[in-house]
Amino acid sequence: MSPARPPTRDAVASPAVPLTLLSGGDTVLPGDTPDPDGPTPPREGTGRRGKPPRHLADLDLAGRRAAVADLGEPSFRAVQLSKHFFGRYTEHPDDMTDLPRTSRAALAGALLPALLTAERELSCDDGTTRKTLWRAFDGALVESVLMRYPDRVTMCVSSQAGCGMACPFCATGQAGLTRNLSTAEIVAQVVAGARLLADGQIPDAPARGSDDPPKPARVSNVVFMGMGEPLANYANVVNAVRRLTDPVPEGMGISQRSVTVSTVGLVPAIAKLAAEGLSVTLAVSLHAPDDELRDTLVPVNRRWQVAEVLDAAWDYAAVTGRRVSIEYALIKDINDQAWRADLLGSLLAGRLVHVNLIPLNPTPGSKWTASRPGAQREFVRRLEAHGVPVTVRDTRGREIDGACGQLAASASPPASAAPLLSARPSASPPASASPPASASPPASASPPASARPS
Ligand code: SF4
């Protein structure tokens, strides 16, 4: 496929230009992105993509029982298969010794098809950060990142191959949307991380100066902050949250309170999420407190402006009791001015909120850079002066382009990275084989090129 062209100055600045470019040339506004019950097959250049194979994780337990019964097996086999996948992280028939030998291959073949193949794995932070580039059944490339900390293990997962939101500073946004990931394709990223941990492939990250024994190696947190706008793939993302958080054998048993779903601000979807009865954290990628600048940094802002997005976030907090996370990429001389800190502080003061400031991650060719340390400190100080809790996010994974703003599913490794798994030759073209081109500047700001602070 041909990736969508990166937005130009005019594309970013002019509301007449479509905000989302599907690869086949279809145009929709962000928020008009189809909201499927199943995997969506947006058009590719030469035809429609098929659906990923059905997988156990696409179904709830009742659906799995029915699927197993359709194969002529007793329905309790669904529970056995589910325990293998969600509890033991295995899809291999040879590991399923509690199943009759004669049934294993057929059951695994029908309900545990291989969805994602590791194309390349890159590691940094003494092996405690691991980024995996995955190739899906149709050649689409997505990435996930595992980060092991002394007290937790966080998986950052992708919800779409590419992204249609066209944020000009974002590596993912430069290539446009390829397609939504299925529920199982999202869940599989987390199960793969759990398997790495269970296999002892991710070293412990001991706390400095602590004699405490290492914490159990399991995925404790999941953040939907990889490739894609999660709420543009609403049904599959919500189903994935349920699979990740329902107890074994229904799901993986991760606490809902340890799951974060990010969005650039699709207001109707935020309201819908609030009504799901979930206790997940909502993270709003704001990046600017004023519409004039946000219109250029986050094009969907022309559809739902700052006040509407924040109102939806406060409604979410009121319904769920969960503190909203405001993500704000600090970009030198673009959005890091003291007056913008004050404006942001005044918008957030007194709310159930926490601000994550994200120093913009450098990417090759980008003219936009992280704020100066002094500007960052002043931004923090002014937010705190408004009584707004704020942290500056660490830049884990920066060396392997695994930090926020850098997930572009490029087939080429960053120059400094040492692959743990060599790229396999493949007949299929990568979703985004080219490095993101530098975006031209929005009208009111100097240009960013790549970063991914959703
Ligand atoms: S910042 Fe997030 S929403 Fe915007 S283009 Fe990148 S991945 Fe999509």
pLDDT, tens digit, 9 for 90 and up, residues 342-352 = 999 999 999 99
User: What's the start-to-end Cα distance of the chain, in Å?
Assistant: 25
Q: How many Å lie between the centroid of ligand 1 and the Cα of residue 449?
A: 12
Give the atom of ligand 1 at the shortest distance from the alpha carbon of 407: 7
| Site to substitute for ligand 1 among 160, 163, 233, 296, most atoms within 8 A of C-beta | 163
Q: Is the pLDDT of residue 61 over 80?
A: yes
Give the atom of ligand 1 at the shortest distance from the alpha carbon of 173: 5
The token pair that represents 113 in the structure block: 């098809």
Q: How many Å lie between the centroid of ligand 1 and the Cα of residue 214?
A: 35
pLDDT band, very low/low/confident/very high, at 409 (cuts 50, 70, 90): low
Q: How many Å lie between the centroid of ligand 1 and the Cα of residue 171?
A: 8
CATH 3.20.20.70 domain span(s) along the chain: 10-27+113-425
| Closest to 172 (Cα-Cα) out of 413, 364, 6 | 6
pLDDT digits (tens, 9 = 90+) for 102-157: 999 999 999 999 999 999 999 998 899 999 999 999 999 999 999 999 999 999 99
Hunting for tokens 């950060």 — which residue is that?
129
Q: Is 143 a catalytic residue?
A: yes
Give the atom of ligand 1 at the shortest distance from the alpha carbon of 166: 5
Task: Name the residue with the closest Cα to ligand 1, atom 5.
Answer: 173
Q: Which residue has the higher pLDDT, 367 or 413?
A: 367
| Per-residue confidence (pLDDT) for residue 201, from 0 to 100 | 92
| The total number of residues written for the chain in this structure | 454
| Per-residue confidence (pLDDT) for residue 209, from 0 to 100 | 61
CATH number of 56-112: 1.10.150.530
* Greatest mean pLDDT range, 211-225, 342-356, 406-420: 342-356
pLDDT band, very low/low/confident/very high, at 364 (cuts 50, 70, 90): low
pLDDT digits (tens, 9 = 90+) for 161-175: 999 999 888 878 888
Q: How many CB atoms lie within 10 A of CB 46?
A: 8
Q: Is 167 a catalytic residue?
A: no
| Closest to 143 (Cα-Cα) out of 418, 400, 427 | 400
Q: How many Å lie between the centroid of ligand 1 and the Cα of residue 65?
A: 37
| Per-residue confidence (pLDDT) for residue 393, from 0 to 100 | 83
Give the atom of ligand 1 at the shortest distance from the alpha carbon of 263: 3
Rounded Cα–Cα distance for residues 15 and 323 (Å): 33
Q: Which long-range contacts (CB under 8 A, 24 or more apart) does 65-68 make?
A: 67/110, 67/111, 68/107, 68/111
Rounded Cα–Cα distance for residues 169 and 329 (Å): 10
| Per-residue confidence (pLDDT) for residue 30, from 0 to 100 | 37
How high is the mean pLDDT of the chain?
80
| Site to substitute for ligand 1 among 142, 158, 264, most atoms within 8 A of C-beta | 264
| Per-residue confidence (pLDDT) for residue 22, from 0 to 100 | 24
| Site to substitute for ligand 1 among 229, 231, 262, 296, most atoms within 8 A of C-beta | 229
**Among 73-77, 265-269, 398-402, which is the least confidently predicted range?**
398-402
Burial (Cβ within 10 Å: 0-12, 13-18, ≥19) of residue 262: buried
CATH 1.10.150.530 domain span(s) along the chain: 56-112
Q: How many Å lie between the centroid of ligand 1 and the Cα of residue 285?
A: 9
Q: Is the pLDDT of residue 435 over 80?
A: no
Q: Of the CATH numbers 3.40.640.10, 3.40.630.10, 3.20.20.70, 3.90.230.10, which one belongs to the domain with range 10-27+113-425? A: 3.20.20.70
Residue among 44, 91, 143, 229 flagged as catalytic: 143
pTM for this model (two decimals): 0.81
CB 449 within 8 A of CB 436: yes
pLDDT band, very low/low/confident/very high, at 14 (cuts 50, 70, 90): very low
Q: How many Å lie between the centroid of ligand 1 and the Cα of residue 335?
A: 17
Ligand 1 site residues (CB inside 6 A) read 163, 165-167, 170, 172-173, 228-229, 264, 452-454
